[in-house]
């Protein structure tokens, strides 16, 4: 027979679970009413050839033909997926570290902190669509810009004045390995990409930091813990469950970003009227994303701290 205390605990957990379903309800309703039908039709298109006519369209069953073409015939699609995974593996850790770093800074007491937070978050929230559009336009002209830059460098010898070359010489002087130098250069060169893709992660980490009771830090200070020890022994363990949330968000955001090479190929196929092939490519991309998320969650979950366990 369950004790009165255990029944209260179960009731509390039940209420917490119900609250979670309540917050998920808009997404569930939106998916069922708006997205599920389109999702099912697109999945059906990937197994059929879409024949358009004056009366609409008709389907001719092709089986796995378009999946086979995308994976084994198209010379660029698989290479684009592999490139996306390798690019995400490099960006994921940097985005998580940067997001947590900024969230910790915003959570610290400072004069005018409310205004500072509003100024910091307002561009992130209001311009996310504008940034995505600008990035998509930039990607279409990047090749021409690179060609022009190389021509100017060849004519003027500007490569000798390159700041990165100077930094490289400094790093080599202090015995930094070439592989680590490349990692540092890639992180610095992609700082704009990291900043524009870290807004939601910062908000999630910031919300988690706000939920930590100040009394925990006060007790730690009484015991003689410094700021560094407080971060590793209090802050990081208590916000670690949110790392899983941010991992999922970052991976999904990366795979569906319009500037992603895979998404550009899918959009190109769709724009040229190859609806069946673009659908097959979309579901291959979806499957790869799902496997990548599952593997990451399995690994990350081993290092997560839960208060109720």
- Tell me the CATH number at 108: 1.10.3720.10
pLDDT exceeds 80 at position 229: yes
Residue 34 maps to a domain: no
Nearest to 158 by CA among 148, 149, 169, 167: 149
The answer to whether position 197 is within a domain reads: yes
110: left (phi over 0), alpha (psi -120 to 50) or beta: beta
Beta bridge partners of 53: 56
Q: Using one digit for the tens of pLDDT, what is the confidence trace for 265-293?
A: 998 888 888 889 999 999 999 999 999 99
DSSP codes, 187-242: HHHTHHHHHHT-HHHHHHHHHHHHTS-HHHHHHHHHTT--HHHHIIIIIHHHHHHH
Q: Is residue 269 part of a domain?
A: yes
Burial class (CB in 10 A: 0-12, 13-18, 19+), 192: exposed
What are the structure tokens assigned to 214, written together?
Answer: 């100040």
Question: 157 in a domain, yes or no?
Answer: no
pLDDT tens digits for range 66-91:
999 999 998 889 999 988 888 888 78
Domain that holds residue 137: 73-141+172-303
- Kindly indicate the confidence band of residue 171, based on its pLDDT and cuts at 50, 70 and 90: low
pLDDT at 90: 78
For residue 27, being part of any structural domain is answered with: no
Task: Please list, in sequence order, all residues whose beta carbon lies within 8 angstroms of the beta carbon of residue 133, skipping any fewer than 6 positions away.
Answer: none
d(CA 287, CA 293): 10
Residue 188 — left, alpha, or beta (φ > 0 → left; ψ -120 to 50 → alpha)?
Answer: alpha
| 26: DSSP letter | H
What is residue 309's three-state secondary structure?
coil
Any domain includes 37: no
Q: What is the mean pLDDT of the chain?
A: 78
Beta-bridged to residue 56, according to DSSP, are: 53
Tell me, rounded to whole angstroms, the distance of Cα 235 from its chain centroid: 22
- Phi, psi of 177, deg, nearest 5: -65, 150
d(CA 12, CA 242): 21
Domain count, the chain: 1
| 129 has pLDDT over 60 | no
pLDDT at 147 over 70: no
- The answer to whether residue 46 sits within a structural domain is no
User: With bands split at pLDDT 50, 70 and 90, how would you rate the model's confidence at 3?
Assistant: low
Show the CA angle centred on residue 34, arms to residues 32 and 39, nearest 5°.
80
| Segment among 97-106, 192-201, 217-226, 281-290 with least mean pLDDT | 192-201
Reported pTM: 0.73
Higher-pLDDT residue of 281, 177 = 281
81 part of a folded domain: yes
Average pLDDT over residues 10-29: 80
């Amino acid at each position: 027979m369950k004790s009165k205390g255990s029944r209260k605990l179960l009731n509390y957990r039940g209420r917490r679970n119900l609250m979670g379903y309540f917050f998920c309800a808009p997404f569930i309703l939106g998916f069922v009413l708006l997205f599920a039908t389109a999702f099912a039709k697109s999945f059906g298109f990937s197994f059929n050839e879409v024949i358009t006519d004056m009366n609409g369209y008709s389907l001719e069953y092709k089986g796995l033909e378009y999946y086979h073409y995308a994976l084994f015939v198209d010379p660029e699609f698989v290479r684009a997926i592999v490139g996306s995974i390798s690019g995400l593996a490099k960006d994921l850790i940097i985005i998580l570290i940067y997001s947590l770093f900024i969230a910790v800074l915003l959570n610290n007491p400072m004069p005018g902190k409310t205004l500072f937070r509003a100024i910091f978050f307002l561009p992130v929230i209001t311009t996310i669509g504008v940034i995505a559009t600008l990035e998509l336009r930039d990607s279409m002209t990047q090749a021409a810009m690179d060609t022009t830059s190389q021509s100017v460098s060849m004519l003027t010898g500007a490569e000798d004045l390159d700041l990165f070359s100077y930094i490289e010489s400094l790093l080599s002087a202090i015995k930094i390995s070439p592989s680590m130098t490349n990692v540092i250069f890639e992180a610095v060169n992609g700082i704009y990409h990291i900043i524009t893709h870290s807004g939601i992660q910062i908000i999630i980490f910031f919300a988690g930091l706000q939920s930590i009771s100040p009394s925990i830090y006060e007790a730690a200070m009484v015991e003689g813990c410094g700021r560094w020890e407080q971060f590793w022994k209090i802050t990081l363990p208590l916000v670690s469950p949110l790392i899983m949330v941010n991992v999922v968000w970052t991976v999904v955001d990366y795979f569906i970003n319009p500037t992603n090479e895979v998404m550009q190929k899918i959009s190109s196929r769709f724009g040229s009227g190859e609806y069946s092939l673009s659908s097959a490519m979309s579901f291959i991309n979806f499957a790869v994303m799902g496997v990548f998320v599952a593997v990451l969650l399995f690994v990350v979950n081993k290092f997560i701290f839960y208060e109720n366990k």
